Amino acid sequence: MAAFVVDDFLEAGPTLLTAHTPAVGGAWALQTGYASALYCGSSGLSNTGAATQGVARNAATPPAANYSVTVVGRITGGVTTDFFGVTARAQPSANTFYFAFVRNGTLFLAKYVAGTYTQLGSATFTMSLDTDYAVTITVNGTSISASCDGGATISPVTDSAISGAGAAGFTTFGANGYVTSISADELAASVYTVTSPPGGKVCPLSGGTTGTATIAVAGTYTGTAPNQVRLVQDGTNTPVAGFDWTAIASASGGNFSHSFTSVPKGAGWYNVQVRDTVSGTVGVSGKVGAGVLFMVDGQSNAWLWFSSQAYAGNSTLTPSPLLRVTGIQASNAWVAPSAATMNAAIACGNALVTALACPVALVDGATNGSGLTVPGSGAQWVNGGGSGGAAYTSSNNALTAAGGKVAATIWIQGEADAEAGVTQSAYYTALGQLITLRRAVVADAAHPYILVGLGRCTNGAINDAEAEPIKLAQLQKCADANIRRVDRLDLALHTDGIHHTASAFTKLGQRCAQAILVALGLESYDRGPRITSATQVNSTTVDVDVTLTAPATTVAPASGITGFRVLDAGSPVTIISATRQSATKVRLVLAAPLTGAPTVQYLYGATPDVATPLTDDATLALPLEYNAGVLAGVTASGVSITLTTNGSAPAAGLTGLRVALLRKSGGVLFSSLAASWDAETTDGSGVLALSLAGLGIPPGEVLGVLVTDSDGTVGQDPSHKAYFGHGVAV
């Protein structure tokens, strides 16, 4: 701080102030509108006028409009109506200035503008007569404040009436006020820089999506140390309820710190403000939120959620103002996702912001080329024995930097392990170990995982035998508690044959967001159609029944469906057509007759045909889920035989019939028992009806039926009657 006026007003004998020379500064002059005689002497300056006000200004021009002026003075002789004080920004040709003065135990802050008096504030204190008090006024932009010995402080008020630098000076009233010194100093360039939280940081809620957040504040300062701190709504001076100005926890040596606890979830951003109540200097942080964080782990198809590489083309998505990404590729900064490249992150984050109504951040924990059980071209997630590998360590460091609390984790990985030929068992075990590690770190044994299945590979890097074990292991893990499944086999691929296009990344982000919301109990729909059964209608026709999740009501399209695979005795059979039969049924017509019960698969292998995938009709149009195989049953509920007594008369009302159903074995017809019944009857028309439910007999098989009324006793009387019918087709 540089002093531009310093004076002790001492003279050997009474000397008019206007003839006195200060130690620092220019000549003294009476303020416009004031004629009271002011004299310097051996006790300082006194006002000889009775019950009149004297105001003087110094000719020194302040270096800037921001400065403080301090006057030391006293009231003598037991008079309580007199006062003294200090002035700032006094105009040379008008009765205009700010001033602070003490009178009878009260500090006043006021202004004159063209002779009109306005009080700006006051504060009381215990004041003794014949005692020196220092009175200070500080003008800093539109912030005007005052203080006085004895503990009286008037916090900064906002006033813009007098903006020029003007002049520094003092004021007295009555003959019993003395001013013993004055000093006017340019304000130090106080600067308050909030370094933490960094702009855009989302501080995690204690309960994931519920509870409150802790906002840790740290920063640096030059000049006067700040003494108060608060939270306000972003871009305003409106305090967050319960978090208005409070004493700062620590401010010394150029550093300050504070911690706000129990900060409520916000529908928007907050700012941290720090200030010095004397100078009025205020420092403001960037945006900070009390909201929800989510982790995204995996290899390249997770890494591309956050990459600046324009790999998947340009996006037409606009990130929500409440969405941020952080983590590995952002070097733990908190940034708005790039609309040019981060399709999946924007689609996922926007949906979560809308549903949760608060700031949301996605934490990038992915390592390009990483493998779960193998290093791949990047790093390994789980080492032998279940410890965390280098990829896990990188992810965990990003999580810690983000605040250590995420509400769910998205896992997108599998290509490296498939290429390495990792078995289903090994992958399943390692994935369980990884999830256990993460749940321990976030201290939540039920921490939700969103498991995104292995995608297609059309570049030849992965074959069917390598892809299926990983897909099956992921499907197996989805049966565990608090793990949600997201399919992506239907999504379009970039020309490299393994990563998604821009529009496909958008769909993937939306699907992941929906699965998260179901995991959090905020939605009920995140699964597409799934195969519940398959039924062989005849030797060349198989019906596939699916289950839908509301709000879906039907499957689509009506015809030309691709992605199905039918196995007969383990070998694929050509599918001529796949058409919708009803809202939940698809009919497959085959090119060749089946020889046994077929198995139906959907999206098998590394390169399933997804030219026209089956989806539901809900907004997300989720695909029929990958299925490794469903064994088809039969549609025939049974077989009916009409028995007669003479070749034409129905044998009605027979009871106690024993029946054997025979099938061929080893090429020999009717040599193997398929089923038997001990107490059958014919109806009034002589019809014997046999149920075949649950026998696994395919439609079209030719069977033999043996019917007798014998109880098996030798020499039964009357003798038994028998019927054998061959060539019975079901």
Given this model, what pLDDT does residue 518 score?
A: 97
- Give the tens place of pLDDT for each residue, 309-339: 766 555 678 999 999 999 999 999 999 999 8
Give strand pairing partners of 171: 55, 85
- Report residue 699's pLDDT band, with 50, 70 and 90 as the boundaries: low
Strand partners, 714: none
Give the Cα separation of 334 and 207 in Å (integer).
21
Report the 3 state secondary structure along 306-346: CCCCCCCCCCCCCCCCCEEEEECCCCCCCECCCCCCCHHHH
The DSSP-derived string for 448-494 is -EEEEPP----SSSS-HHHHHHHHHHHHHHTTSTTEEEE--TTS-B-
The number of helices, as runs of H, and strands, as runs of E, in the chain is 7, 48
SS (H, E, C) 532-562: EEEEEEECCEEEEEEECCCCCCCEECCCCCC
**Cis preceding-peptide flag for 529 (omega within 30 of 0):** no
Does pTM top 0.85 for this prediction?
A: no
pLDDT digits (tens, 9 = 90+) for 347-400: 999 999 999 999 999 999 999 999 999 999 999 999 999 999 999 999 999 999
**Average pLDDT score over the chain:** 90
Backbone phi and psi for residue 37, each to the nearest 5 degrees, phi listed first: -75, 130
Would you place residue 102 in the very low, low, confident or very high pLDDT band (cuts 50, 70, 90)?
very high
Q: Which of 38-47, 69-78, 480-489 has the highest mean pLDDT?
A: 480-489
User: Does 420 have pLDDT greater than 70?
Assistant: yes
Cβ count near 51 (within 10 Å): 11
Average of pLDDT values for 437-452? 97
Residue 515: which H helix or E strand, with range? helix 502-519
Rounded alpha-carbon distances, angstroms, from residue 414 to 297, 462, 510, 604: 12, 11, 20, 16
For 661-696, the pLDDT digits (tens) are 887 766 666 677 888 888 889 888 888 887 776 666
Over residues 539-551, mean pLDDT: 94
The pLDDT of residue 310 = 61
CA torsion sign for 468, 470, 475, 476 is: positive
**Closest C-alpha to 135, from 225, 69, 47:** 69
**What distance lies between CA 555 and its chain's CA centroid?**
32
Contact 551, 618 (CB under 8 A): yes
Instruction: Label residues 349-385 b or e (16+ Cβ within 10 Å = b).
Output: bbbbbebbebbbbbbbbbbbebbbbbbbebbbbbeee
Instruction: Check: CB of residue 420 under 8 Å from CB of residue 378.
Output: no
Say if residue 519's pLDDT is above 80: yes
